[in-house]
Structure 1
Amino acid sequence: MSALWTAAEAATATGGEATGGRTGGSAGDWQVSGLSIDTRTLQPGDLFVALKAARDGHDFVAQALEKGAGAALVSHRPEGVAADAPLLIVEDVQTALEALGQAARARTRAKVIAVTGSVGKTSTKEMLACMLADQGRTHAAVASYNNHWGVPLTLARMPRDTEFAVIEIGMNHPGEIAPLARQARPHVAMVTTVAAVHLEAFDDVAAIAREKAAIMQGLEPGGVAVLNADIDEAQVLAQEAQKLGISQLWFGATATDYRVLTTQIRGEDTVAEVQCGAQALSLTIQSLGAHFAMNALGALACVAAVGADVRRAAQVLALWSPVQGRGARVEVEMGRGKLLILDDSYNANPTSMAAALAVLAATPKLAAAGDGAAPAGRKIAYLGDMGELGPKEAALHAGLADLEALEALDTIHCIGPLMAHLHAALPLDKRGNHYATAADVLPDLPAQLRCGDIVLAKGSLSAGLSKVVDGIRELGHGKR
């Protein structure tokens, strides 16, 4: 087992007391190869971190050790845990996790990229991880581990021989990004975009832009900010960068540094011609949507800023495709043909909703089934509530009815109390059903869908649109 942390190293980093281990007793002599906060996904050799969230992680320490955890990070010895169990006992588990993350960051010579933004940060992080892994040992956050425990956990998991690291940083309220950025100490900080997200906690979108710009406060000396030139709040980002004396690289259709020249749909791919500094490059992305091309362009600016090969990265980008819940394409075999799901069920706000609907509108129709006797496929959307939009939430939901992309759609089903505003605003020929919850949709799916259809599922995580995706997959034999 390759040691990510020895007991002595972890104790030094956290100021805690290591106990138990391979020879038992009070002196800790264990080592761990990873970190876990969930016994369901814990791997043998992991350090189990007993965080207090919906449940107190201390309640699961005994189970973690039984499953093969190398040790557990705790604030006290839990009931039922043996006296010679391998533990790292600290004053506060969250603080200790942050200390481990900072120690891991300090001991590596990796070039670190931190990514934030109202939309696209997870996809951009995954693009960067794909491109940089071809050029060096690369470490990146899993899933959307971008909050007060996700960032230090990602850092603490970073092997000491990492050459490139990609850290995702998110927020829900003011003052969250800067402390996480200071833990990550990136060489490059990217803001994908700024949009009307989390307006419950902010006065306006400019305030959101200033919070996103706070990622620059964690930059290492000589660090670079990669910023979106096309957004209305670009000047806010520029002003924050200037206050800090940060060098900037700008990307977008209106940028001079990294610029999108053209974007085209070719079959099931998005192809963009871009100018990256002095280089003209062609990008191919295995998904539809100009927003993917824009995020890829920003990612290439990050690649350049850490000294990696941009042309090589652009070539490797063709291997990347979106993950489940974030624009993944799922085919479902149904009788004589198939149905296509665009699974964008993980998150939603007005900007990402508009982008997803544009992707649905642009997706080529599926080939006719069998002998061609089946009716032509339709474009159908299941849209769930967008959360945390503040006092304007009703208008922002209803306003989706004005999007040009809706002209290319056949039916729009709305899910949740906020989506009732969109349902009422939709033209009658587009208006499907309104449902209180995603679970209420499931009985109607067999009658609503047929082979040849292209279906978008999009909503905030709380809307539960993943249930709709699972329900559609159960209509046939799903495959990626």
Structure 2
Amino acid sequence: MISLSLHHIAQTLGGDLLLVGDDTLDTEVSGRVDTDSRVVGPGDIFVAKPGETTDGHLFVPAARTAGAVLAIVEHPVDEPITQIVVPDAVAALADLAREVVARVRARGALKVVGITGSNGKTTTKNLLARILQDEGETVAPRASYNNEVGAPLTMLRVTEGTRFLVSEFGASGPGAIAALAGLVHPDISVVLMVGMAHAGGFGGIEGTFRAKSELVHALRPGGVAVLNADDPRVAQMAPIAADRPASVRWFGRGGAADVRAEDVEVTADGTSCTVFADGASAPLRLRVLGEHHVMNALAAIAAATALGVSLADAVARLETVELAERWRMQPLGSQRVRIINDAYNASPDSMSAALRTLAQITGPGERTVAVLGAMSELGEYAGEEHDRIGLQAVRLGIQRIVVIGPEARRLFLAAVGEGSWDGEAVFFATADEAYDYLTGELRDGDRVLVKSSNSAGLRFLGDRLGEFFS
């Protein structure tokens, strides 16, 4: 974090400052801000956030011992560390992030990019950060730091020398993106797609549309909305951008997009295409698995070129990316048995894309195996969407379907009902049972997709299979 006085921080948070030791109102702090006492170090600021299973106030002593010089708390803690007492620690975190970004922006050339979408946020964030880091100091979220805690923590990592802040915005409910994006008002807002992910929490796809469009509403006047020209719902956000007013930069596979891809070819080693932007073209060899990641790459290129990066530079930097993120289309195992661990998140759209990729990258004499778990947060749509994925897996010709967990049982039943098979689709209640089956069933030439929502825990099964067949 940038250097701020204790007085200024307390004033920003509207909290009561309790000084300890030699600290004064003018004492400056500039360390890392975090809610996890295990990563706090000398000079850092610890935010004691109450949680569902524990209370951050219990870890103020550990944070002080680790070297923290300031604790932001909701009630005083009997510990010799300077504290700022606030009504709501999470709200205070947001207030501090807003102030820090505003001060850096006022002093320098900081540009803020916000990214949202039902799928692809983290991959696009990582691709864009890779492009921008060669242009100047770039701050981007670790993992999927995109909620009311993670997004402000990322914002608080900016320094006086930061040139780009890339923020990923998830939506826990209506108004969530508006609140987070409103802390920084992005110069560029990227909307990837509007799909069924989390539809249960928004009352359907139209609710998801309204939630994702909040990022375009939050644009700074004169900013740029980077929108998916191939998604009809995202395309409907263009008038929102005009009202800011902001310009629109389209990405997609169609000829009308400002940044588009042609001649897309998918293999087990990655995806190749030709990218066109602003009258220029360049071949792109993306090592991240999956045709669907072409759209994420196009979104990153569209944002980067809007910030002045050349197409040639953007493409060259993307080609150095070997893995977008752990547990996202992550190749494991060996050439003998290839495991693709994509079990960090799952929605109907991402599940469908991953199954298509499995079918595309499997060659003659190789067998497709899909290890599938539940897709969460679909609410009333869960049954029909699991049915649809089961049907799609059969129609894509996936040769072995392994379904895990009671929440995914309808996927298994749909697959069995669609195919006239004898054992090609199997069901297990637990990942351990599936592991025992798969270690005996998988054979040379198998290409195995492991896909589920985070809550199903199949990412750990994917890791175990990858190690077993390495």
Same fold (TM over 0.5): yes
CA distance in 1 between partners of 2:25 and 2:330 (Å)? 49
* Alignment check: 8 A CA contact 2:169 2:180 kept: yes
Q: Can you list the C-alpha shifts for 1:275-302, whole angstroms capped at 9, x where unaligned?
A: 1121112222112222111111111111
In structure 1, the partner of 2:320 is 319
Query: Post-superposition shift, 1:305?
Result: 1.8
Write out aligned runs for 1:450-465 (5 A).
450-465=443-458
| C-alpha distance in 2 between matches for 1:99 and 1:44 | 23
Q: 1:443 to 1:6 in 2, by over 3 A?
A: farther
Which residue identity is paired with 2:314? A
Greater CA drift, 264-273 or 285-294: 264-273
In 2, Cα distance between equivalents of 1:271 and 1:89:
54
Letter in 2 for 1:398: D
The answer to whether the 8 Å contact 1:114/1:184 transfers is no
> Out of 44, 47, 53, which is 1:46 matched to?
44
State the alpha-carbon separation in 2 of the partners of residues 352 and 5 from structure 1: 43
SS state at 2:232 partner: coil
Alpha-carbon separation, structure 1, partners of 2:3 and 2:435? 45
Q: How far is 1:9 from its partner?
A: 4.3
Q: In the alignment, what sits opposite 1:434?
A: 427
Structure 1 residue aligned with 2:182: 182
Query: Please, which runs of 5 or more residues in structure 2 have no aligned partner?
Result: none
Segment of structure 1 superposing worse, 287-296 or 233-242: 233-242
Asked if the contact 1:249/1:301 (under 8 Å) is kept, the reply is yes
Equivalent positions of 1:237-276 (< 5 A) are 237-254=237-254, 255-266=256-267, 268-276=269-277
Name the CA distance, whole Å, in 2 between partners of 1:201 and 1:350.
Answer: 15
**How far off is 1:462 after superposition?**
1.0
Displacement of 1:244 in angstroms is: 4.0
Any stretches of 5+ residues in structure 1 without a counterpart?
367-375
**2:139, 2:165 within 8 Å by CA — same for their partners in 1?**
yes
Bigger mean CA offset, 393-402 vs 467-476? 467-476
Asked if 2 retains the 8 angstrom alpha-carbon contact of 1:325 and 1:343, the reply is yes
Determine if contact 2:375/2:386 at 8 Å carries over to the other structure: yes
1:468 aligned partner: 461
| 1:393–1:418 CA contact under 8 A, matched in 2 | no
Aligned counterparts of 2:208 and 2:260: Cα–Cα separation in 1: 24
Q: How far does the alpha carbon of each residue in 1:336-359 deviate from its partner, in whole angstroms, 9 at most, with x for none?
A: x74322111111111000111112
Aligned to 1:15: 14
Distance 1:242 1:28 in 2: 44
1:107 aligned to 2:118? Answer: no
Q: Which moved more, 1:404-413 or 1:310-319?
A: 404-413
Residue 75 (structure 1) aligned with residue 82 (structure 2)? no
**Could you state the TM-score of these two structures normalised by the residue count of structure 2?**
0.90
Shift of 1:100: 0.9
The 1-side partners of 2:46 and 2:360 are apart by: 45
2:90 paired residue number: 94
Give the counterpart letter for 1:88 in structure 2: I
C-alpha distance in 2 between matches for 1:48 and 1:32? 12
Call closer, same or farther: CA 1:442–1:20 in 2, change over 3 Å: farther
Per-residue CA deviation, residues 392-419 of structure 1 (Å, 9 max, x unaligned), is 3211111113337853432111122332
Counterpart Cα distance in 1 of 2:244 and 2:70? 42
Alpha carbons of structure 1 residues 184 and 26: separation in structure 2 relative to 1, 3 Å = closer
**Compared CA separation, residues 158 and 25, structure 1 to 2 (3 A):** closer
Indicate if the aligned counterparts of 1:189 and 1:225 stay in contact, CA closer than 8 A: yes
Match in the other structure for 2:34: 36
Q: Tell me, what secondary structure is at the counterpart of 1:386?
A: coil
CA RMSD of aligned residues (A): 2.4
Cα deviation code 1:341-378 (max 9, x no counterpart): 21111111110001111121222559xxxxxxxxx653
Contact preservation (8 Å) 1:210, 1:237: no
1:330 deviation in Å? Answer: 2.0
TM-fit CA distance, 1:126? 0.5
Alignment of 1:367-386 (within 5 A): 377-386=366-375
Partner SS, residue 40 of structure 2: coil
Q: Aligned equivalents of 1:457 and 1:169: distance in 2?
A: 26
Contact 1:252 1:260 in 2 (8 A): yes
**Alpha-carbon distance between aligned partners in 1 of 2:338 and 2:397, rounded to the nearest angstrom:** 16
1:141-199 Cα shifts (integer Å, max 9, x gaps) = 11111111222221122212210110000103222111111112100001011111222
What percent of counterpart residues are identical? 35
Q: Is the 8 A contact 1:210 1:240 kept in 2?
A: no
Aligned to 1:407: 396
Give the CA deviation at 1:454.
Answer: 2.3
Displacement after TM superposition at 1:39 (Å): 2.4
TM superposition shift of 1:70: 3.4
Per-residue deviation, 1:312:
0.7
* Structure 1 residues 223-267: Cα deviation after superposition (integer angstroms, max 9, x where no partner): 111111111324432343344443211111123311222211255
Question: Which residue is 2:349 aligned to?
Answer: 351
Aligned equivalent of 1:395: 384
Q: Which residue in 1 is equivalent to 2:306?
A: 305
**More moved, 249-258 vs 348-357:** 249-258
Contact 1:283 1:293 in 2 (8 A): no
**How far apart are residue 429 of structure 1 and its match?**
5.6
Cα distance change on mapping 1:189 and 1:414 into 2, 3 Å: same
Describe the SS at the equivalent of 1:340.
strand
- Distance of 2:468 and 2:434 partners within structure 1: 13
| 2:67 aligned counterpart, secondary structure | coil
Q: Distance in 1 between matches of 2:76 and 2:445?
A: 58
Indicate if the aligned counterparts of 1:365 and 1:454 stay in contact, CA closer than 8 A: no
Shifted more, 429-438 versus 85-94: the winner is 429-438
**Do residues 129 (structure 1) and 129 (structure 2) align?**
yes
C-alpha change, 1:449 and 1:66, in structure 2 (3 Å) is farther
Gap change, CA 1:360 and 1:405, over 3 Å in 2: farther
Three-state SS of the structure 2 residue aligned to 1:443 is: helix
User: Which secondary structure state, in structure 1, belongs to the residue aligned with residue 282 of structure 2?
Assistant: strand
1:40 to 1:456, Cα distance in 2 relative to 1, 3 A: farther
Q: CA deviation at 1:31?
A: 2.3
Asked if the contact 2:125/2:140 (under 8 Å) is kept, the reply is yes
Report the Cα distance in structure 2 between the residues aligned to 1:219 and 1:11, rounded to whole angstroms. 28
